[in-house]
Amino acid sequence: MTTTTEELQVTTGATVWLTGLPSAGKTTIAYELAGRLREEGHRVEVLDGDEIREFISAGLSFSREDRHTNVQRIGFLAELLARNGVKALVPVIAPYADSREAVRKRHQDSGAPYVEVHVATPVEVCSVRDVKGLYAKQAAGELTGLTGVDDPYEQPESPDLRIESQHQTVQESAAAVHALLTERGLA
């Protein structure tokens, strides 16, 4: 009897929400983790905040209300995927604690596993990385409302995991998240 690829897929879904400042390393860690999980047979989707803004939340501003709406839309998609056997990796700033808590509650209400990872890279490190040039634009006066600089970022008080990406490689950061998922029976 031959085994098909479909039969090898692990179908326990979960949402892994990676929150942190711009250029903290959220997306890089998510894609590293996604590769590892896929190699193990998991169904995985990365819900990148920039892609969501372009395709699902186009037209929203960066006001507190619109940021909340954006996070709720992403949370809905993640929970839907998680309920259907997909690991939804969500590298999104999500600066407000109440928005993140609403997403966690949505998952609890549906029974979908939810893991919050705080990529706790200090703003000084993020501004040097400046992957998208946002910190440079803010410093030059071309941008206002940059999370963690002139707009608030409410750090998670008790995330499931806190990663200080400036002290480890991307692979080590992804391995730490993978270890937590394994510990909880999700990887």
Kindly report, residue by residue over 49-89, the tens digit of the pLDDT: 889 999 999 999 999 999 999 999 999 999 999 999 999 99
Q: What is the pLDDT confidence band of residue 2, given thresholds at 50, 70 and 90? A: very low
What mean pLDDT, rounded, does the chain reach?
A: 93
What one-character DSSP code corresponds to residue 2? P
Q: How confident is the model at residue 153 (pLDDT cuts 50, 70, 90)?
A: very high
Amino acid 12: pLDDT: 87
Extract the runs of DSSP E, i.e. beta strands, from 85-183. 87-91, 114-119, 161-163
Could you count the other beta carbons within 10 Å of the beta carbon of residue 7?
9
Q: What is the mean pLDDT of residues 133-145?
A: 91
pTM of the model as a whole: 0.92
Work out the pLDDT band at 9, boundaries 50, 70, 90: low
Residue 35 has pLDDT above 60, yes or no: yes
Given a cut of 90, whether residue 44 has pLDDT beyond it is yes
**pLDDT exceeds 70 at position 4:** no
Model confidence at 3, pLDDT cuts 50, 70, 90, reads very low
pLDDT beyond 70 at 145: yes
Beta strands in 22-173 (DSSP E): 44-46, 87-91, 114-119, 161-163
Kindly state the average pLDDT of the residues 124-135.
Answer: 93
| pLDDT range class, residue 155, cuts 50, 70, 90 | very high
Is the pLDDT at 1 greater than 60, yes or no?
Answer: no
- Note the residue count of the chain: 187
- Give the number of other CB atoms < 10 A from CB of residue 10: 15
